[in-house]
């Protein structure tokens, strides 16, 4: 059996791990246009001079121990399903018996006039982060405009302030993290960012990037012109389905997979930010670009590629801001779409520095927000995954001392019940 993996991040590592659980000998080849296997969530740390070795997710030793051939610095441009081979940009052919596509996501870049100018950056790859950092030094940059107030945009803005650079964040919505956080959580995060010196312009957008060959300023929809030595586009990430399209596989918002991570094309699997993932909080399939979920999906794909049958049971949208003075974490549904949901809130942020919120539907926890105090949130995540009836202790969900003692006795006696969505014991599935 010859296994080929396109992509070299969390899903690829998960796939290698899954394959080697079953098949210790067959060759594995990893193809990536990037040159290292690094931690995507830590890209922004480049700005504050984090040691480069701390960015590495898996080093060369991991690949050597797992008998993996690396083809780095080359891009897979086509999958020939008739001959079962991946075509590289060098025209080299890499044959496969089982193929995993884990091409990740790509930044959404709107068609803004001038967006192609030197000094405009995205922030989803290590190379682009280093290029941005070097450009700031080269230009002696003093002012930067960030387009978008999602997780990436806020982290970049915060670290730029650490460097003493003035930052203006331009956001089309009326608050930060508008699609990922509830209103109170957004308010708290915005307040913490403003304390750091970050400026926000809401209800507006960049309509043109100005300058000759390099960025000098941006013009907003409102007509205002803002000076900018550089611009970061952080509007969002879309599944990278370009390679999948060459294989003729089914694609919706992302690559469509079965619960065994199989695509619509025989012998080809997919995992990570390029696919649609089952959201177990609402039962819908959607892109959920999260590093831990990518590993899990890759692991399940690897097991199935090697002959074991295992289902991927879905994931939870879970986000955290690790750079703020206080931890911020949210999971699942945090802004209920209708009045069929029950919301319980414990807001002590202004007095005691914490805010907690639980969202319940049909007596089951489907989402939560935790700011300032995030102890025991792992228990809340387990409650969501396992769809436990919380009606007897729902008011306790937002308490700081909420713990195992609050949970049903039968659940505790089974050691938090077997969480099959954690994929800790693949043999049991």
Kindly report the CATH number assigned to the domain that includes residue 178.
3.50.50.60
Q: Establish if 422 belongs to a structural domain.
A: no
* SS3 of residue 182 by DSSP: coil
* SS3 of residue 358 by DSSP: strand
Q: Establish if 429 belongs to a structural domain.
A: no
Q: What is the pLDDT of residue 425?
A: 45
Taking residue 243's Cβ as centre, other Cβ atoms within 10 Å add up to 25
Number of domains in the chain: 3
Q: What is the pLDDT along the chain (429 residues), one digit of tens a residue?
A: 999 999 999 999 999 999 999 999 999 999 999 999 999 999 999 999 888 889 999 999 999 999 999 999 999 999 999 999 999 999 999 999 999 999 999 999 999 999 999 999 998 899 999 999 999 999 999 999 999 999 999 999 999 999 999 999 999 999 999 989 999 999 999 999 999 999 999 999 999 999 999 999 999 999 999 999 999 999 989 999 999 999 999 999 999 999 999 999 999 999 999 999 999 998 899 999 999 999 999 999 999 999 999 999 999 999 999 899 999 999 999 999 999 999 999 999 999 999 999 999 999 999 999 999 888 888 899 899 888 899 999 999 999 988 888 887 776 666 555 555 555 544 433
Q: Establish if 130 belongs to a structural domain.
A: yes
Q: Establish if 310 belongs to a structural domain.
A: no
149 and 220 housed in the same domain: yes
For residue 294, give the nearest of 66, 41, 122 by alpha carbon: 41
- Convert 137-162 to b/e letters by CB count within 10 Å (16 or more is b): eeeebeebbbbbbbbbbbbbbbbbbe
Q: Establish if 111 belongs to a structural domain.
A: no
Structure tokens at 127: 């190379």
CA distances from 210 to 113, 218, 228, 234 (A): 8, 5, 9, 18
23 and 91 housed in the same domain: yes
Q: Establish if 175 belongs to a structural domain.
A: yes
101 and 156 housed in the same domain: no
31 and 99 housed in the same domain: yes
Give, as one character, the DSSP assignment of residue 44.
G
Structure tokens at 427: 């043999």
CATH code of the domain covering residue 384: 3.30.390.30
For residue 200, give the nearest of 236, 146, 164 by alpha carbon: 146
195 and 245 housed in the same domain: no
Structure tokens at 384: 């969501």
pTM, to two decimals = 0.92
Contact 381, 316 (CB under 8 A): yes
Angle formed by the axes of helices 151-162 and 183-196, nearest 10°: 20
For residue 332, give the nearest of 385, 392, 270, 403 by alpha carbon: 385
Q: Establish if 427 belongs to a structural domain.
A: no
Structure tokens at 78: 């086509």
Q: Which of 235, 259, 283 is the last residue of a domain?
A: 235
99 and 242 housed in the same domain: yes
Domain span at residue 127 reads 120-235
Residue 73's region, left for phi above 0, alpha for psi from -120 to 50, else beta, is left
> What is the tally of helices (H) and strands (E) in the chain?
10, 25
Q: Establish if 63 belongs to a structural domain.
A: yes
Q: Which of 203, 235, 267 is the last residue of a domain?
A: 235
33 and 130 housed in the same domain: no
68 and 212 housed in the same domain: no
226 and 174 housed in the same domain: yes
224 and 124 housed in the same domain: yes
Q: What is the pLDDT of residue 80?
A: 97
244 and 218 housed in the same domain: no
CA atoms of 368 and 107, how far apart (whole Å):
27
102 and 243 housed in the same domain: yes
Q: Which of 271, 305, 339 is the last residue of a domain?
A: 305
Residue 191 β-bridge partners: none
């Amino acid at each position: 059996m010859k296994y080929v993996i396109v992509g070299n991040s969390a899903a690829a590592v998960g796939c290698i791990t899954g394959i080697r659980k079953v098949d210790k000998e067959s060759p594995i080849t990893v193809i990536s246009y990037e040159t290292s296997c690094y931690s995507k969530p830590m890209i922004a740390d480049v700005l504050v001079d984090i040691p480069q070795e701390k960015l590495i997710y898996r080093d060369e030793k991991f690949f050597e121990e797992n008998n993996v051939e690396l083809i780095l610095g080359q891009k897979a441009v086509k999958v020939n399903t008739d001959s079962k081979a991946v075509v590289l940009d060098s025209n080299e052919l890499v044959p496969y018996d089982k193929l995993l596509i884990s091409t990740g996501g790509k930044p959404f870049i709107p068609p803004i006039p001038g967006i192609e100018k030197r000094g405009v950056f995205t922030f989803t790859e290590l190379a682009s982060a280093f290029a941005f950092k070097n450009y700031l030094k080269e230009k002696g940059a003093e002012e930067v405009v960030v387009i978008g107030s999602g997780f990436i945009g806020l982290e970049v803005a915060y670290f730029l302030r650490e460097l003493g650079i003035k930052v203006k964040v331009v956001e089309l919505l009326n608050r930060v993290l508008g699609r990922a956080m509830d209103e109170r959580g957004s308010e708290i995060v915005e307040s913490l960012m403003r304390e750091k010196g970050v400026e926000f312009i809401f209800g507006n957008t960049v309509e043109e990037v100005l300058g000759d060959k390099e960025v000098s300023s941006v013009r907003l929809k409102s007509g205002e012109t803002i000076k900018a030595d550089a611009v970061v586009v952080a509007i969002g990430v879309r599944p990278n389905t370009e390679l999948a399209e060459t294989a003729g596989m089914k694609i919706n918002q992302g690559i469509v997979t079965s619960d065994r991570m199989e695509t619509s094309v025989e012998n080809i699997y997919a995992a990570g930010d390029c696919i649609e993932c089952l959201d177990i909080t609402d039962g819908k399939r959607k892109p959920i670009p999260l590093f831990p979920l990518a590993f899990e999906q890759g692991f399940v794909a690897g097991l199935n590629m090697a002959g074991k049958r295992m289902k991927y049971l879905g994931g939870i949208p879970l986000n955290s801001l690790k750079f703020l003075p206080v931890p911020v974490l949210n999971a699942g549904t945090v802004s209920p779409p209708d009045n069929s949901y029950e919301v319980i809130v414990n807001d002590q942020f202004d007095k005691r520095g914490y805010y907690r919120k639980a969202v319940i539907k049909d007596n089951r926890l489907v989402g939560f927000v935790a700011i300032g105090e995030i102890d025991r949130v792992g228990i809340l995540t387990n409650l969501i995954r396992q769809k436990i009836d919380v009606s007897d202790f729902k008011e306790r969900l937002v308490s700081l001392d909420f713990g195992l003692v609050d949970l049903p006795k039968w659940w505790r006696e089974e050691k938090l019940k077997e969480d099959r969505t954690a994929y800790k014991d693949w043999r049991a599935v």
